[in-house]
């Protein structure tokens, strides 16, 4: 390696990322949202010790993931999204307008959200947020690698 070429590589990397910061932030935020939704358990009454309420359909927890810039959203919805695709699409739309440099909050304000994060469901024994946080750097690396050369 020629003298100074490592510094040149780092400079080129920094310039590449700086010119595309908003895109990197959006891509990473979309992946975080997707991970949270897809890792979220969906109520399966056949696994329960007690009977479900009449008319119960799982998927409300998935539908209640919220994303907002600068301040968290504490709203909840009665929507059901078993597959998670509608929620991922909604989060993607909201994230697509966000810019780098601010805060992005993902949260789920249903009263049982913390229990699910703490492993209450056999479908998500490691939670959703903790695992997504562990994978965060991978999302950043992939977003940067996907930038135009």
- Model confidence over 35-81: pLDDT tens digits? 999 999 999 888 888 888 898 999 999 999 999 999 999 999 999 99
User: Pick the residue with more confidence: 27 or 11?
Assistant: 27
User: Is 123 in contact with 44 (CB distance < 8 Å)?
Assistant: yes
The 3-class secondary structure across 60-110, one letter per residue, is: HHHHCEEEEECCCCCCCCCCCCCCCHHHHHHHHHHHCCCCCCCCEEEEECC
What is the pLDDT at residue 1?
43
Q: What is the mean pLDDT of residues 99-110?
A: 93
Distance, in Å, from the CA atom of 133 to the CA atom of 109, rounded to the nearest integer, reads 18
Cα–Cα distance list, 112 to 78, 80, 108, 121, 124 (Å): 14, 16, 9, 11, 13
CB 88 within 8 A of CB 33: yes
Q: What percent of the chain has pLDDT over 70?
A: 87
Beta bridge partners of 108: 65
**The predicted structure's pLDDT at residue 84:** 98
Is the separation of the CB atoms in 94 and 129 below 8 Å? Answer: no
Q: What is the mean pLDDT of residues 83-91?
A: 98
Say if residue 135's pLDDT is above 80: yes
pLDDT at 45: 87
Q: How far is 133 from 117, CA to CA, in rounded Å?
A: 12
């Amino acid at each position: 390696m020629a003298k100074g070429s490592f510094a040149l590589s780092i400079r080129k990397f920094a310039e590449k990322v700086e010119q595309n910061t908003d895109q990197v932030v959006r891509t990473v935020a979309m992946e975080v949202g997707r991970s949270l939704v897809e890792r979220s358990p969906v109520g399966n009454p056949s696994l329960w010790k007690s009977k479900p309420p009449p008319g119960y359909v799982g998927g409300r927890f998935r539908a209640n993931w919220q994303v907002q810039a600068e301040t968290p959203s504490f709203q909840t919805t009665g929507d059901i999204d078993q597959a998670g695709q509608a929620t991922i699409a909604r989060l993607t739309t909201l994230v697509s307008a966000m810019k780098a440099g601010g805060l992005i909050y993902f949260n789920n304000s249903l009263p049982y959200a913390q229990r699910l994060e703490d492993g209450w469901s056999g479908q998500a024994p490691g939670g959703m947020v903790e695992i997504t946080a562990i994978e965060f750097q991978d999302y950043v690396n992939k977003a940067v690698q996907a930038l135009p050369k």
